[in-house]
Amino acid sequence: MRDHDVIIIGSGMGGLVCGNLLSLEGLKVCVLEKNRQIGGCLQTYVRDRVIFDSGVHYLGGLNKGQNLYQIFKYLDIIDKLKLQKMDEDVFDKILIENDDKEYVFAQGYENFINKLLVDFPEEEQGLRAYCDKIKEVCSKFPIYNLRSGGENHEKASVLEIDTKGFIESITTNVRLREVLAGNNPLYAGMPDKTPFYVHALILNSYIESSWKCIDGGSQIAKYLSRNILNRGGTIIRNREVKKIIAEGGKATSVELEDGSRMFANYIISNIPPVKTLEMTDTELIKRVYRNRLKSLENSISCFTLNIVFKKDSYKYFKYNYYVFNEGCVWTTGNYTQDNWPLGYAVFVAASSKSPDYADGMTVLAYMTYEEVKQWDHTRNTVSHMGERGESYDSFKKRKAEVLLDNMERKFPGLRDHIKSYYTATPLSYRDYIGTDDGSLYGITKDYKDTLKTFISPRTKLPNLFFTGQNLNLHGVLGAAMSAIVTTNALMGNDDIINKIRNA
Ligand SMILES: Cc1cc2nc3c(=O)[nH]c(=O)nc-3n(C[C@H](O)[C@H](O)[C@H](O)COP(=O)(O)OP(=O)(O)OC[C@H]3O[C@@H](n4cnc5c(N)ncnc54)[C@H](O)[C@@H]3O)c2cc1C
């Protein structure tokens, strides 16, 4: 009866990497994707002939031998990707209202410390302690270091460190504390919540090396999907899974929108665990577990402004900006209608069309789902264009103009370079990626209760597995690591990690 060895629900980074790893082990996989375009957050879209990314503005760990490099090498895509190394001396700039300085994060630990010492000459001891702690914490995560074995007990000792608290412990300099937390929109950082390991694993990968995808991140999905097809697998787009069916005490098949069923030995879900469990009514998954997952808080969503520049008008730069109102580095999400936005992030797109001028810029500012809830009943995707109406359009226009007014303070004259702009809201993320509330990075981790936010790839329903950003860590690297964890669980060993390390 079975059609495939493995059915993967969703073609995000986690699903595609699982598909690749399992194909390399000789299994026949079938990826079912509800959207027309594969990739989930790896999707790109074109506006006014400019390519914009949904969720890959920069990548870390891609120097030869580093973790993401090795994963991409094992998957045979590293030489195919069009990548651009960001500025060695600055990959992120942190800007704070009423402070003319531009604080920089540089690549390489010594460079990182030395560049910050220019603005904080008294702080060498604190900066070294900070970097040492990042490295120490990262060393406790075997898969991150492409080591097999020992996963849980090794990292237990560092899971409960608080990011904000730790940063405050290494320096009394308030500005340096803010700067070190300055790219926390990368992980939707929250005071008294975000575990330091999340901060460390992400920061370390960018300090090690920072990269942009030229012409967008969808190329990652393109090459990963080709690998699956080349190894005899199948990828079916526009195919939404509605149910996961359990028979004889194990997961056997999925039911699609049209009521048809597809069978496999294993089913891997790349969609949020809560949504996965809603698809199966098996009693093997207890209510207490379902409720535990339901009670987990999702990270905040955002408003996105995609700017198309006039031709050869706005100089390209190889770094990102994180901009905050004074005192708001940790509280950007606590805005009101009157003071929004309290901060925003700026990413210029690397384009093959021109190395000197930017053709597009993406600006992200936190936005809660509540703000767009009145249009909750509408749905917009490429294959299903619903009308949200004029009120929604004027809401988006109003927000874009407020954001641009704010940006003029740090980027004077920006408006003169704009040819056109396009916007997205939490509803766009909901519809294109598949979370209920457009959450940026899935489940919020909490250092006070790390076990609660730890989700195993195994479920109580035999043959059903989870993968993707909700497991270990979000981000392209995080989702790839989750895929390794899921593949290990399915194969019953961690041989793959050695193969990746030795690739
Ligand atoms: C705005 C934004 C900016 C980001 N910036 C960066 C960055 O610069 N660098 C970085 O490393 N990471 C970044 N990230 C995070 C990163 O992109 C994600 O963590 C990662 O790509 C998520 O991968 P995933 O495997 O969890 O799958 P997802 O991307 O969540 O994909 C899930 C897939 O499942 C599909 N699906 C859902 N329901 C069904 C169903 N019922 N049937 C079939 N298919 C279904 C969806 O359509 C989707 O394709 C960003 C994310 C966002 C939102």
Q: Which atom of ligand 1 is nearest to the CA of 483?
A: 25
10 lines ligand 1 (CB under 6 A): yes
451, pLDDT greater than 70: yes
* Type of residue numbered 324: F
CA of 41 to the centre of ligand 1 (A): 3
Residue 142: cis peptide before it, omega within 30 degrees of 0: no
Residue 31: closest CA among 55, 45, 13, 43: 13
The residue whose CA has the least distance to atom 45 of ligand 1 is: 10
28 lines ligand 1 (CB under 6 A): no
User: Looking at residue 453, what is its pLDDT?
Assistant: 85
The residue whose CA has the least distance to atom 35 of ligand 1 is: 10
Per-residue pLDDT of 108-125, as tens digits, reads 999 999 999 999 999 999
Pairing of strands 92-96, 103-105: antiparallel
User: Looking at residue 265, what is its pLDDT?
Assistant: 97
User: Looking at residue 376, what is its pLDDT?
Assistant: 87
58 lines ligand 1 (CB under 6 A): yes
**Taking every pair of C-alpha atoms in the chain, what is the biggest distance, in angstroms?**
69
State the Cα–Cα distance between residues 251 and 266, nearest whole angstrom. Answer: 7
Q: How confident is the model at residue 386 (pLDDT cuts 50, 70, 90)?
A: low
User: Looking at residue 390, what is its pLDDT?
Assistant: 87
Q: Which of 22-31, 154-163, 344-353 has the lowest mean pLDDT?
A: 154-163
**Mean pLDDT score across all residues of the chain:** 95
CA of 432 to the centre of ligand 1 (A): 9
380, pLDDT greater than 80: no
The CA distances from residue 340 to 86, 161, 343, 414, in Å, are 30, 30, 8, 19
Burial 427-436 (b: 16+ CB within 10 A, else e): bbbbbbbbbe
Q: What pTM was estimated for this model as a whole?
A: 0.97
223, pLDDT greater than 60: yes
The residue whose CA has the least distance to atom 1 of ligand 1 is: 55
CA of 404 to the centre of ligand 1 (A): 27
12 lines ligand 1 (CB under 6 A): yes
The residue whose CA has the least distance to atom 8 of ligand 1 is: 57
User: Looking at residue 280, what is its pLDDT?
Assistant: 97
CA of 406 to the centre of ligand 1 (A): 29
CA of 10 to the centre of ligand 1 (A): 9
Residue 190: closest CA among 162, 166, 169: 162
User: Looking at residue 151, what is its pLDDT?
Assistant: 57
Helix 218-230 with 13-24: angle, nearest 10 deg: 30
Q: How confident is the model at residue 454 (pLDDT cuts 50, 70, 90)?
A: confident
CA of 12 to the centre of ligand 1 (A): 5
* Domain segments of the chain as ranges: 4-46+59-71+215-296+447-501, 83-212, 300-433
Q: How confident is the model at residue 42 (pLDDT cuts 50, 70, 90)?
A: very high
Q: Which CATH number fits domain 4-46+59-71+215-296+447-501: 1.10.3470.10, 3.30.420.10, 3.40.718.10, 3.50.50.60?
A: 3.50.50.60
* Mean pLDDT calculated for residue range 473-492: 97
Secondary structure class of 192 (helix, strand, coil): coil
298 lines ligand 1 (CB under 6 A): no
453 lines ligand 1 (CB under 6 A): no
* Mean pLDDT calculated for residue range 264-286: 96
Q: Are 354 and 316 in contact (CB under 8 A)?
A: yes
Substitution site in 62, 213, 271, 367 for ligand 1 pocket (most atoms within 8 Å of beta carbon): 271
CA of 476 to the centre of ligand 1 (A): 9
User: Looking at residue 382, what is its pLDDT?
Assistant: 59
User: Looking at residue 200, what is its pLDDT?
Assistant: 98
337, pLDDT greater than 60: yes
- CB under 8 A, 24+ apart: contacts of 223-227: 223/75, 223/77, 223/80, 223/81, 224/16, 224/17, 224/19, 224/20, 224/75, 224/77, 225/11, 225/16, 225/19, 225/31, 225/38, 227/19, 227/20, 227/23, 227/75, 227/76, 227/77
